[in-house]
A and B are shown apart, each in its own frame.
Chain A
Amino acid sequence: NAGVTQTPKFQVLKTGQSMTLQCAQDMNHNSMYWYRQDPGMGLRLIYYSASEGTTDKGEVPNGYNVSRLNKREFSLRLESAAPSQTSVYFCASSREGGTGRVFGPGTRLTVL
């Protein structure tokens, strides 16, 4: 039982490049989330998926897109990376929206 896994762990991009962050959970959770964590800003929700087939914007969605590929997988795409997107990205899941979150180990992204 791996919980929530994220790939890659580290990534360096140049401005304008694109990439997809992958997230998978094996706990049969319905809801999945993408957060970014920045010094002094705390954790901010980018996008979430309340259930398979649905996605919604969070607090800071600009510059990102998501895909809920199936119940297990939820990916985050940066179409044209900008230095402001340098951050640590966390994926999380929960059985339902009101229950506790389980977090992945994070992806540390640097955009030059």
Chain B
Amino acid sequence: KQEVTQIPAALSVPEGENLVLNCSFTDSAIYNLQWFRQDPGKGLTSLLLIQSSQREQTSGRLNASLDKSSGRSTLYIAASQPGDSATYLCAAGANSKLTFGKGITLSVRP
């Protein structure tokens, strides 16, 4: 059974820092890896989707990488801003087998 782990559960950084959020998964035979953002009391917003044949995806200040051999994905946020404060979840797999991590709650201090 696929297990997805995100450590630490919470992170606080000063504004302007470049930061990396980690996601690890146990079954490397994944179809894709998706990163989401969730604001308090809201739904999940898709940030980046990496297909299993890809190594990384970029959108603005966000870059996500995928290393299937090591069972790891990282979300890189450049020049963090207070507006980036949210919970970031990764999900690995496909179809009904998409498994979510519990998320990392990020707080960016002004």
Instruction: Give Cα A106–Cα B36 distance, bound, in whole angstroms.
Output: 15
Residues of B within 8 A of A105 (CB): 42-43
Q: Tell me the smallest distance from the CB of B25 to a CB of chain A, in Å.
A: 13
B87-102 vs A, Cβ < 8 Å mask (1 yes, 0 no): 0010100111010111
Which of A42, A58, A98, A104 interacts with B94 by CB under 8 Å? A98
Asked whether B32 lies within 8 Å of A42 as measured between CB atoms, the reply is no
A78 on the B face (CB < 8 A) = no
Please name all residues of chain B whose beta carbon is closer than 8 Å to the beta carbon of A19 when the two chains form the complex: none
> Closest CB of chain A to B83's CB: distance in Å?
19
Q: Which A residues form the contact surface with B (CB < 8 A)? A: 31, 33, 40-43, 45, 48, 50, 56, 58, 90, 92, 97-106
Q: CA A42 – CA B43 in complex, angstroms?
A: 13
In this complex, which of A56, A92, A97 has the most chain B Cβ atoms within 10 angstroms of its Cβ? Answer: A97
State whether A98 touches B42 (Cβ < 8 A): no
A42-B96 in contact given A103-B44, A103-B45, A106-B42 (Cβ < 8 Å): no
Shortest distance between the CB of B87 and any CB in chain A (Å):
11
Given contact pairs A42-B102, A50-B95, enumerate 8 new A-B contacts (beta carbons under 8 Å): A31-B95, A43-B44, A90-B43, A97-B95, A99-B49, A101-B98, A103-B43, A106-B42
Q: How far is the CA of A45 from the CA of B89 in the complex (A)?
A: 15
Chain A positions within 8 Å of B94 at CB level: 97-98
Q: How far is the CA of A45 from the CA of B96 in the complex (A)?
A: 8
Which residue of B32, B43, B89, B100 is within 8 Å of A98 (Cβ)?
B32
Residues of B within 8 A of A104 (CB): 43
Please report the C-alpha to C-alpha distance between residue A33 and residue B95 in the assembled complex, in whole angstroms: 10
Q: Across the interface, do A97 and B96 meet the contact criterion of CB distance under 8 Å?
A: yes
Question: What is the CA–CA distance of A90 and B43 in the complex, to the nearest angstrom?
Answer: 7
- What B residues does A50 contact at CB under 8 A? 95-96
Closest Cβ neighbor of B36 among chain A residues: A103
Chain B residues with Cβ below 8 Å from A45 are 96, 98
Contact of B49 among A90, A92, A100, A103 (CB under 8 A): A100
Nearest residue (CB) in A for B103 is A42
